[in-house]
């Protein structure tokens, strides 16, 4: 059976309309607008070249955001992958109540990022926090909240993100891990391979395409970090946890500096698309 | 062989212990929240800290006082996420099928492109989108929000459904085609029933993603329509900062529907796979 032209039209049109109208068109028009002084309420619009981008890069806040998000991504993504894989590895073989384990483990991911921010704020700040509880048990006087500390704020935000995303990674990796034929493992075990060798020789090669796809999603998620810092830290203290997405949002919607917001948002898009190019190349090699 | 089995059993025990420890660590923050929502708060000024308060449901009632329209927002979130998930599937399923059954150069590239698109943060395009939606008079409308949410999650749905449909042997379709079935009947009566688990799993994940979206409703609505994540922000204004138990109760209420959904469908959810080569 072959699909005719009419068939293809029928199959692809709904998606094409949805994606071009709500994703493609705004993205392209938005890109064009970043080279002008356009803003929704501007009376005159003129071409301004790379002016907006130059101004974004000259802003120290954005520079801090780039540094933060680079550290964030480089630390959070490997931790999420590692921890997520470890948990999936533990859940790999059928054990009693595996379904329940899986659902319980998915709970952190089911909390919305914004709810997560509210929750962790109260867990880390204030009279009833886990921090005070723990330090009280250790006999210490109440210590300051880590999200108020300029050196600890970013590591804390990263840890919270890992707490939320690692279970999602487990959820994504488990079906792939469970689909690895049993005799591959048995062979490896009978050969006396340690679990480290089992992971390297059996699990990783089979999971390569899946791991690449998950990594791509995680990098995109991480580069767009917004909801989780919005309430938890608001980018602070100072600019310690400022992210590019939060910067764009603040510029466009909080202080009505539309062109700067749109231009910095396009830099996020550009970075994700750049990573996407690398991903596509690697994924093609993994498929062969 | 006994040593083999003995080693296995020992490993199984270690595995369960590690799992219990991991789950305890991962669920501790949530347990803290659940306790707070029922009025059980630690008294950190005592040495050693102790637990104070008695179990009460008052904080769940207080949700309606702190956020008078909370229950309505819960309904809005439910209906909007359900509509967006269905719309996403309705647009993605035919396209994923078309991709899976087409042989052209760059098919794989296009599929991987959908994953890249799925990784694109909403912030990348939501600023100009809010402007376009305002011009199209779709701001603060249910339709505008649902369509945008559907578009945000559609690329991931296409990628996952494409993987599932590629596993499907074309024989069934060939047979139906020879029987004279048209494309619509083929999709509806042959392909869809054979891929129900994957489609349901994808729809549930899309529902969860839509339910938890903040940026899209935040930017495209201004009060007329409000979803739960946007409402969660209201629990965190500075004058209300001390009202943690009520926020905890609201958080719990907004988590429970998702937890039930994941619990009921946990078997089906195993079919949500990003691996297009999988064989199961």
- What is the rounded CA–CA span in Å between residue A236 and residue A243? 10
The DSSP bridge pattern shows strands B50-52 and B41-43 to be antiparallel
Per DSSP, the three-state class of B187 is helix
pLDDT at B44: 73
- What is the rounded CA–CA span in Å between residue A262 and residue A253? 10
pLDDT at B203: 96
Decide if A105 and B152 are in contact by the 8 Å CB cutoff. Answer: no
State CA B73 to chain mean position distance: 17
Name the token pair of B262: 């994941």
A33 belongs to a structural domain: no
> Which residues of chain B form CATH 1.10.3720.10?
70-269
pLDDT digits (tens, 9 = 90+) for B41-98: 877 777 777 777 778 888 888 888 878 888 889 999 999 999 999 999 999 999 999 9
Mean pLDDT in chain B?
86
Q: What is the 3-state secondary structure (H, E, C) of chain A?
A: CCCCHHHHHHHHHHHHHHHHHHHHHHHHHHHHHCCECCCCCCCCCCECCCHHHHHHHHCHHHHHHHHHHHHHHHHHHHHHHHHHHHHHHHCCCCCCCHHHHHHHHHHHHHCCHHHHHHHHHHHHCCCCCHHHHHHHHCCCCCCCCHHHCCCCHHHHHHHHHHHHHHHHHHHHHHHHHHCCCHHHHHHHHHCCCCHHHHHHHHHHHHHHHHHHHHHHHHHHHHHCCCHHHHHHCCCCCCCCCCCHHHHHHHHHHHCCCHHHHHHHHHHHHHHHHHHHHHHHHHHHHHHC
Contact (CB, 8 A) for A114 and A230 = yes
A14 belongs to a structural domain: no
Nearest Cα of chain A lies from the Cα of B186 at a distance, in angstroms, of 12
A262 belongs to a structural domain: yes
Which of A64-73, A245-254, A279-288, B15-24 is least confident? A279-288
- What is the rounded CA–CA span in Å between residue B35 and residue B54? 10
pLDDT at B238: 53
More confident residue, B232 or A85: A85
pLDDT tier, B118 (very low <50, low <70, confident <90, very high otherwise) = very high
Name the domain count of chain A.
1
Decide if B215 and A249 are in contact by the 8 Å CB cutoff. Answer: yes
Shortest CB distance from A272 goes to which of B30, B120, B271? Answer: B120
Name the token pair of A72: 């964030």
pLDDT at A288: 52
pLDDT at A200: 84
pLDDT at residue A195 greater than cutoff 50: yes
A276 belongs to a structural domain: yes
Classify burial at A41, counting beta carbons within 10 Å of its beta carbon; exposed 0-12, middle 13-18, buried 19 or more.
exposed
Cβ atoms within 10 Å of B242's Cβ, excluding its own: 13
More confident residue, A18 or B180: A18
pLDDT tier, B241 (very low <50, low <70, confident <90, very high otherwise) = low
pLDDT at residue B8 greater than cutoff 70: no
Contact (CB, 8 A) for A179 and B271 = no
pLDDT tier, A148 (very low <50, low <70, confident <90, very high otherwise) = confident
> E strand or H helix at B52, and its extent?
strand B50-52
A37 belongs to a structural domain: no
CB pairs under 8 A between A and B: 319
% of chain B with per-residue pLDDT over 90:
40
Shortest CB distance from A127 goes to which of B44, B116, B158? Answer: B44
Contact (CB, 8 A) for B94 and A11 = yes
pLDDT digits (tens, 9 = 90+) for A32-60: 988 988 888 877 888 888 888 999 899 98
Fold of B70-269: MetI-like fold (1.10.3720)
pLDDT tier, B280 (very low <50, low <70, confident <90, very high otherwise) = very low
- What is the rounded CA–CA span in Å between residue A200 and residue A195? 9
pLDDT at residue A182 greater than cutoff 50: yes
A240 belongs to a structural domain: yes
Contacts of A58 (CB under 8 A, 6+ apart): none
pLDDT at residue A254 greater than cutoff 50: yes
Domain CATH code at residue A173 = 1.10.3720.10
| B 211-240 → A contacts, CB under 8 A | 211-212, 214-215, 219, 228-229, 232-233, 235-236
The closest alpha carbon to A22, from B208, B82, B128, B218, belongs to B128
- What is the rounded CA–CA span in Å between residue A37 and residue A45? 5
Shortest CB distance from B254 goes to which of A112, A172, A262? Answer: A112
Domain residue limits at A68: 48-287
Which of A230-234, B200-204, B254-258, B262-266 is least confident? A230-234
- What is the rounded CA–CA span in Å between residue A102 and residue A95? 11
pLDDT at residue A275 greater than cutoff 90: yes
Shortest CB distance from B108 goes to which of A22, A207, A284? Answer: A284
pLDDT at residue A150 greater than cutoff 80: yes
Contact (CB, 8 A) for B207 and A31 = no
Name the token pair of A257: 């500096």
> E strand or H helix at B46, and its extent?
none
- What is the rounded CA–CA span in Å between residue B66 and residue B200? 36
Contacts of A257 (CB under 8 A, 6+ apart): A251
**Phi and psi torsions of A47, nearest 5°:** -65, 135
Mean pLDDT in chain A?
88
A260 belongs to a structural domain: yes
pLDDT at B1: 46
A35 belongs to a structural domain: no
Distance spanning both ends of chain A, measured CA to CA: 26
pLDDT at residue B276 greater than cutoff 70: no
Which residue of A5, A112, A268 is the best one to mutate when testing the B interface, meaning the one whose CB has the most B CBs within 10 A?
A112
User: Is residue A108 less than 8 Å (CB to CB) from chain B?
Assistant: yes
pLDDT at B242: 58
Contact (CB, 8 A) for B231 and A131 = no
pLDDT at A42: 77
Query: Which residue of B lies nearest to A252 if distances are taken between CA atoms?
Result: B127
pLDDT tier, B239 (very low <50, low <70, confident <90, very high otherwise) = low
pLDDT digits (tens, 9 = 90+) for B185-214: 888 888 899 999 999 999 999 999 999 999
């Amino acid at each position: 059976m072959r699909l005719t032209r009419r068939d293809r039209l029928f199959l692809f049109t709904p998606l094409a309309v949805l994606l071009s109208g709500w994703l493609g068109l705004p993205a392209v028009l938005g890109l064009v607008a970043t080279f002008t002084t356009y803003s929704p309420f501007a009376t005159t619009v003129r071409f301004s070249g790379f002016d907006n981008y130059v101004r974004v890069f000259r802003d120290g806040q954005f520079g801090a955001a780039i540094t933060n998000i680079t550290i964030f991504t480089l630390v959070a993504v490997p931790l999420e992958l590692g921890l997520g894989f470890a948990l999936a590895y533990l859940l790999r073989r059928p054990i009693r109540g595996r379904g329940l384990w899986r659902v319980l483990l998915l709970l952190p991911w089911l909390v919305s990022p914004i709810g997560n921010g509210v929750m962790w704020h109260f867990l880390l700040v204030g009279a009833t926090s886990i921090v005070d509880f723990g330090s009280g048990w250790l006999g210490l006087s109440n210590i300051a909240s880590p999200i108020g500390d300029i050196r600890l704020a970013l590591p804390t935000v990263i840890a919270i993100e890992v707490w939320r995303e690692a279970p999602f990674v487990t959820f994504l990796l488990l079906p792939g891990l469970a689909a690895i034929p049993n005799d591959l493992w048995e062979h490896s075990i009978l050969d006396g391979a340690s679990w480290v060798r089992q992971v390297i020789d059996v699990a990783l090669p089979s999971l390569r395409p899946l791991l690449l796809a998950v990594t791509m999603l995680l990098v995109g998620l991480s580069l767009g970090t917004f909801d989780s810092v919005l309430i938890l830290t608001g980018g602070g203290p100072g600019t310690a946890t400022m992210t590019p997405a939060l910067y764009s949002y603040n510029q466009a919607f909080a202080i009505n500096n539309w062109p700067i917001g749109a231009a910095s948002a396009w830099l996020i898009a550009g970075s994700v698309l750049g990573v996407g190019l690398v991903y596509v190349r690697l994924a093609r090699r993994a498929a062969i | 062989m006994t040593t083999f089995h003995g080693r296995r059993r020992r490993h199984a025990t270690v595995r369960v212990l590690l799992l219990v420890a991991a789950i305890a660590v991962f669920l501790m923050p949530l347990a803290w929240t659940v306790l707070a929502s029922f009025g059980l708060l630690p008294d950190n000024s005592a040495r050693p800290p102790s637990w104070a308060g008695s179990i009460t449901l008052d904080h769940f009632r207080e949700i309606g006082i702190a956020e008078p329209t909370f229950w309505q927002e819960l309904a809005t979130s439910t209906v909007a996420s359900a509509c967006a998930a269905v719309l996403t599937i309705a647009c993605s399923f035919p396209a994923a099928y078309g991709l899976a059954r087409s042989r052209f150069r760059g098919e794989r590239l296009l599929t991987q492109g959908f994953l890249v698109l799925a990784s694109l943060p909403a912030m990348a395009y939501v600023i100009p989108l809010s402007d376009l939606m305002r011009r199209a008079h779709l701001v603060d409308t249910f339709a505008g929000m649902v369509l945008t949410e559907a578009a945000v999650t559609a690329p991931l749905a296409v990628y996952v459904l494409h993987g599932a449909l590629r596993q499907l042997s074309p024989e069934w379709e060939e047979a139906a085609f020879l029987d004279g079935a048209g494309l619509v009947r083929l999709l509806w009566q042959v392909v869809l029933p054979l891929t129900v688990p994957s489609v349901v799993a994808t729809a549930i994940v899309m529902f969860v993603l839509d339910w938890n979206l903040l940026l899209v409703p935040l930017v495209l609505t201004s009060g007329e329509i409000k979803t739960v994540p946007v409402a969660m922000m209201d629990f965190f204004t500075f004058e209300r900062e001390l009202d943690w138990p009520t926020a905890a109760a609201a958080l719990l209420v907004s988590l429970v529907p998702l937890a039930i959904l994941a619990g009921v469908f946990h078997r089906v959810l195993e079919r949500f796979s990003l691996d297009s080569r999988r064989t199961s």
